[in-house]
Amino acid sequence: MTHLCPGNNNALSTPVFDASAHSAPHTRWCLSLGACCTHTFSTMKQIYSHSPNHFPSSLYKRFSAMILLRSFRLPKLVVKLILPFVLALLLVVTVFYTTDVDTLIIDTKYMSIVSLLDSTKATLRPSKSGAIIAPQNVQLTFNPMKKGSPKEILAQNQKVYDAVLAQKIHEPKDFDIESIRPPKDPLDYVRENATIIALVRNNEIAGIKRTLRQFEQSFNAKFQYPYTFLNDEPFTDTFKEKIRSFTQAEVEFVHIPAEIWNKPASIDRQREREAMEQLAKEDVAYAQKESYHNMCRFYSGNFQDLPALQKYKYYWRIEPNVRFYTNLNYDVFKYLAGTKKLYGFTINLYDIRQSVRTLLPETLLFLNKGENYKYVNKNGAFQWITENQQNPKIAEETGGYSTCHFWLNFEIADMDFYRGEAYSNWFKHLESTGKFYYERWGDAPVHSLGLALFADKLKLHWFRDIGYYHMPYTNCPNNDNTKGCNKGKFDDSGHNLDQNCMATWIDYEMENLGAIY
């Protein structure tokens, strides 16, 4: 592999670090520094060729000798501090010795070297978040703050979770909630550009009715946001009539086109069948259910571009047989818009590791191509997706992915994030692998990984104040507006506490827990 320096169309002979090669740290230093030294050398050579009479040949020769240093395994202090200083000093000396050099040449080459030095800095100094974000060198590393066995880590995390959920809270404090209270008359209310969406089949009418009964009482009877019901088959008239009887809000029923829902023709049927059989042997849920694979792929990257949804910016996703325990007295869509947040969730947990074995490795392949590293947000939730202490075997099997993900049966989000360049191009790469079918990549880990990488984590909001249940997990806050659930209880049985990722989110990704609630 070769690397093109900014402002220089000639490929350097110095190879650039490949994340898949897992090179030693000193190799990364030498390679990045080598690229910088070589480019600086070419800069001085060009200046010398323009003004040989005003450029001391001794300086040129000394720098030529210095280029040999790039192949040495130098101490970190030398690489990080001394050599960059020497390079900068040489440029200053060059300018003093060459009074008739075209300043455009110097300016252009100087900016090229600055860009390379920035890349070197990113390579040498991973951020506290555990991320290296550099051309062809995006790496994610977990930096643990805790010590102990998985059992001990679980106990520590459970203590954190219990303490936070025990705190008495009310409503978000980072916005003027009084300005987004329910209107006296919903018909006169100016709503955000938002809809409530549900992917549901005709035979799930009983389950979605149970959801709507509570959802209307909790939120939408007060604001009357429109509903959009989605189905890969046409809705029956009976289904439509029963749904309309539960709400006064506008309702739209959408039949998802086959070309969007169905499996792509490019999928190798034999490979898919063998992969599904293997996943079934490993007891992966829905492994051999093609419609489930279709659903995961649809929600991962296609739903936001349906003609019926293109007119909306925000959505709140609901599903059959979920419960809402909180009497919400503010407009959550206006809250997201007012705070400029992108995404809201209530529960986050681990996934089935066999279903996403290569999701993170494939993502890193994408990020380490061309300029794709620029898509990564420097304030991403990197620790959350690389945590490896509570369930270490998961990360071992998934290329370092913790599988922590937001549970998508409840999500309130900005669809423009999914429509953006970073997420769209990443999804195209994921789609090209066929692994929505060769593995069982879920929409939850795909959404979550995309948000953790491409969004500022401060724009991802835990709706602590909304009581919510989807079997077997609950978000039950300690507030006066929530009734019917056990305060702070995560799991129905108490046997799945090790599946909770919330303590990791609290400890590693929330910068000021008390600033919001």
Q: What is the per-residue pLDDT across 481-500, written as a single tens digit (0 to 9) for each?
A: 999 999 999 998 889 999 99
Task: Compute the average pLDDT of residues 2-10.
Answer: 36
Say how many residues make up the chain: 517
pLDDT at position 280, please?
97
d(CA 501, CA 349): 5
Structure tokens, 143: 């930096």
pLDDT at 402: 99
Across-strand partners of 478?
A: 168
Ramachandran category for residue 324: left, alpha or beta (phi over 0 → left; psi -120 to 50 → alpha): beta
Q: What is the dihedral of CA 159, 162, 167, 172, to 10 degrees?
A: 110
Q: Looking at residue 70, what is its pLDDT?
A: 42
CA distances, 149 to each of 53, 153, 307, 388, 392 (Å):
68, 6, 50, 11, 10
What is the reported pLDDT for 492? 86
* Span 323-355, pLDDT tens digits: 999 999 999 999 999 999 999 999 999 999 999
Candidates 401, 474, 472, 386; CA nearest to 442 is: 401
Output phi, psi for 254, to 5 deg. -120, 125
What is the average per-residue pLDDT within 435-448? 98
- Is the distance from CB of 136 to CB of 17 less than 8 angstroms? yes
Percent of the chain's residues with pLDDT above 70: 75
Radius of gyration of the CA atoms of the chain, in A:
27
Catalytic positions are 411
Mean pLDDT rounded to a whole number for the chain:
85
Give me the residue spans of the domains in the chain.
Answer: 3-125, 150-515
- Asked whether residue 121 carries a pLDDT value surpassing 90, the answer given is no
Backbone angles phi, psi at 220, to 5 degrees: -80, -20
What is the DSSP pairing of strand 343-345 with strand 460-462? Answer: parallel
Range list of H helices, 98-174: 103-124, 150-166
pLDDT for 31 beyond 80? no
Instruction: Read off φ and ψ for residue 412, nearest 5 degrees.
Output: -125, 120
pLDDT value at 120 more than 70: no
> What's the burial of 512, exposed, middle or buried (CB within 10 Å: 0-12/13-18/19+)?
exposed
Q: Which two tokens stand for residue 414?
A: 């900005």
**What pLDDT score was predicted for residue 19?**
38
- What pLDDT, on a 0 to 100 scale, did the predictor assign at position 83? 57
Rounded mean pLDDT, 245-270: 97
Task: Tokens 């040498």: give the residue.
Answer: 124
User: Is the full-model pTM beyond 0.85?
Assistant: no
pLDDT at 353: 97
Kind and range of the H or E element at 293? helix 290-301
Q: What is the pLDDT of residue 93?
A: 52
Region 78-88: mean pLDDT is: 56
Distance from first CA to last CA of the chain, Å, rounded? Answer: 50
Position with higher pLDDT, 153 vs 23: 153
Widest pairwise Cα distance in the chain = 91
Nearest CA-CA partner of 131 in 389, 457, 501: 457
CA-CA-CA-CA torsion sign (321, 322, 327, 332): negative
Strand ranges (E), 337-453? 343-345, 348-349, 405-406, 411-414
pLDDT band at 129 (very low <50, low <70, confident <90, very high): confident
Residue pair 69/82 in contact (Cβ under 8 Å)? The answer is no
Q: Which CATH superfamily is domain 150-515 in?
A: Spore Coat Polysaccharide Biosynthesis Protein SpsA; Chain A (3.90.550.10)
**What are the pLDDT digits (tens) for 459-482?**
999 999 999 999 999 999 999 999
Q: Is 390 helix (H, G, I), strand (E, B) or coil?
A: coil
